[in-house]
Chains A and B, each alone.
Chain A
Amino acid sequence: MSNSVAFEVTRELEAFIIQEAKYADEGQYQAWYELWADDAVYWVPLKDGDDPAHKASHLYDNYSRLTTRIKQLNTGNRFSQVPISGMRRVISNYEFFGESDDKFRVEANFYLPEYSIQSTHDFRIWSGRYTYIVSRKGDSFQIHSKKIVLVNALEPISTLSFLI
């Protein structure tokens, strides 16, 4: 039973992910960035199971590139997010797993209607599966990786410069 997670801990993990989602929805870029560990991998593959050494992804950021991404958003001139898209994502169907090295893996489904206020003024629907690897940091957690597998990842997708 090494991979079971105590109920109280699952509540803490869920609260952490809800906080992370809120920062992303609201464009609180610095607060969102500070949740990450320096071995960060923020990843939207074309297909679950792809090897990023051989296949392109929609997005594959290590810590350095994630830092650049946040810097770019923070210039205020990242026009594909000026103004920031209207977003309120819903995260559900959580599953919690204990990993080695005191890490936790959290998987959940998400549903994200994005209102593209800076371009077409249409709703764009994003949906898929989040997989987080997190560990304890102080009285909260830090994110080592977040993989986002879109249900339509292999199809053409719209601009994805907001934080998914």
Chain B
Amino acid sequence: MIGSIDYNHLIQADKVHGSLYTSEDIYADEMEKIFQNSWFYVGHESEIKEAGDFVSRDIGRSAVIMVRDKDNTVNVLVNRCSHRGNNLCNEMDGNKRNFSCLYHGWVFALNGDLLDVPYPDGFTKDKKDHGLQKLVTDSYRGFVFASFKEPTRSFDDYLGNGKKLIDRACNLSPEGEVDLTGGWVRQKFDANWKMLPENDTDGYHVNYVHQSFVQVIPSQYNEFVGGEDTNKGVIRDWGNGHTEIDFAAGYVNTLDWLGSTVEKSKSYVEKMHAAYGEEEGDRRMFDGPPHSCIFPNLFLAEMNIVIFQPTSVNSCVQWSTPMFLKGVPELNFKLLRQSEGALGPAAFLLADDATIAERAQKALQAGTPWCDLSRGIDREIVREDGVKESRMSDETSNRGFWHHYRSMMLGEK
């Protein structure tokens, strides 16, 4: 069945077919090609600071554990006992010396090696062959990515321009690192997972879906009110499915993105100047954080980090946590409250995005609908480095997502 899906027909330059959000066969195909055999985001090293620290994550159809080993390396292991398949670790996070199975007591090391089988006389196989399945992993500035199989593309090739986006986030810390210790809020969407990366770099919907937000809360989104020509932000397709809304051009003052000013955030400004010099520090504090999706499941959501987790063809979960900046803990309270205000089930923004996505998911079930993505196709520009840019309200980012998705599904990358 899967071999017969015609992705070239379903994903065209200016439109995509509704079945991409609703077909069980396509979902099964994605779970293999995108969430098993290729790179995806798992977690951040700051979540597991000490040896034995671990976090549980669900990736595609598998549960995994990201754990820091005694030698300080980060391992990503399948959360399933190699004996009879029991879920090995039921906690979301914690610290363990090893992982032991509740079913028959098999014990595994932090690198997945099978250490002990109770009543060993009856088990004559080589323990070396019965460790936990270990994922291929790599990381960039603490952001850990993995794949269940050796991917055909190298990690550097996959991440591509995504490095610049991660740099932009980390560069806001005077120590060059982010710290994800604020806890994860998880919001359930009764909608296909792809609606999340699409919507998160869609600059067109803000004045409609978020009308009530714009009416009561002043923010960088207010420039949408004047109409398309007042939006100074830029929409960008960085290639490899990585996409962005760059708000920097729309900011008026330093620290606009923080809802703050140089006067109100003196200690942060001083630390940035000390770390990077006045000119470079000021530039970073003016431009602010990225608003960018790294294909397939990471969203650098300004001062938040977001993970997309598909759970079925018709449902997904959005994980969000505030992006603390190492070296500036005095900002944490503000970042926590901003995170709750923007993202999560009760937020001023995301609650409405979820409702719109759920309505679309329902409406796309029947018939043979097409979704138009042509907006701006004739006015976007292609830079010398191949990156596409256009007005904030154009669908350049969504076309970039789908173009890459198609090549993944066709097995081209």
* Set of chain B residues within 8 Å of A119, measured between Cβ atoms: 190, 354-355, 358-359, 362
* Set of chain B residues within 8 Å of A57, measured between Cβ atoms: 185, 340
A79 within 8 A of B: yes
Residues from 35 to 55 in A contacting B, C-beta threshold 8 Å? 44, 46, 50, 52-55
Is B340 within 8 A of A58, CB to CB? Answer: yes
B187 within 8 A of A: yes
Q: Is the interface of A mostly helix, strand, loop or mixed?
A: loop
A31 within 8 A of B: no
- Residue in chain A with minimal CB distance to B336: A56
Is A161 within 8 A of B213, CB to CB? Answer: no
Is B186 within 8 A of A72, CB to CB? Answer: no
Is A159 within 8 A of B351, CB to CB? Answer: yes
Is B332 within 8 A of A54, CB to CB? Answer: yes
* Set of chain A residues within 8 Å of B320, measured between Cβ atoms: 56
Give min CB distance, B364 to chain A, whole Å.
13
* Set of chain A residues within 8 Å of B317, measured between Cβ atoms: 156
- Out of B92, B188, B190, B348, name the residue touching A157 (CB < 8 Å): B188
Task: Known A58-B344, A161-B352; judge A79-B209 contact (CB<8 A).
Answer: yes
Give min CB distance, B317 to chain A, whole Å.
4
A80 within 8 A of B: yes
Task: Known A58-B345, A59-B346; judge A79-B352 contact (CB<8 A).
Answer: yes
* Set of chain A residues within 8 Å of B356, measured between Cβ atoms: 79
A106–B215 Cα gap in the complex (Å)?
Answer: 36
* Set of chain A residues within 8 Å of B358, measured between Cβ atoms: 116, 119-120
Interface bin, chain A: 35 or more
B339 within 8 A of A: yes
Is A56 within 8 A of B185, CB to CB? Answer: yes
- Interface 1/0 per residue, B205-217 and A, CB below 8 Å: 0000101110111
B243 within 8 A of A: no
Task: Known A50-B183, A71-B216; judge A79-B345 contact (CB<8 A).
Answer: no
- Residue in chain B with minimal CB distance to A76: B212
A116–B345 Cα gap in the complex (Å)?
Answer: 14
A123 within 8 A of B: no
Residues from 198 to 228 in B contacting A, C-beta threshold 8 Å? 209, 211-213, 215-217
A30 within 8 A of B: no
A77 within 8 A of B: yes
Most buried by A among B212, B213, B358: B212
- Interface 1/0 per residue, A53-73 and B, CB below 8 Å: 111111110000100110111
Residues from 79 to 133 in B contacting A, C-beta threshold 8 Å? 92
- Interface 1/0 per residue, A72-113 and B, CB below 8 Å: 110111111000000000000000000000000000000000
A92–B341 Cα gap in the complex (Å)?
Answer: 30
Most buried by A among B346, B351, B358, B359: B346
- Residue in chain A with minimal CB distance to B361: A120
Is A44 within 8 A of B346, CB to CB? Answer: yes
Is A72 within 8 A of B216, CB to CB? Answer: yes
A160 within 8 A of B: yes
Give min CB distance, B336 to chain A, whole Å.
5
* Set of chain A residues within 8 Å of B209, measured between Cβ atoms: 79
A155 within 8 A of B: yes
Give min CB distance, B394 to chain A, whole Å.
23
A-B contact pairs, 14 of them (CB 8 A): A44-B346, A52-B336, A54-B181, A57-B340, A60-B336, A65-B337, A69-B348, A72-B213, A78-B351, A119-B190, A156-B187, A157-B345, A158-B345, A159-B187
Chain A to chain B: the 10 pairs with minimum beta-carbon distance, closest first: A156-B186, A59-B346, A161-B351, A77-B212, A119-B358, A80-B355, A160-B345, A160-B346, A80-B351, A75-B212
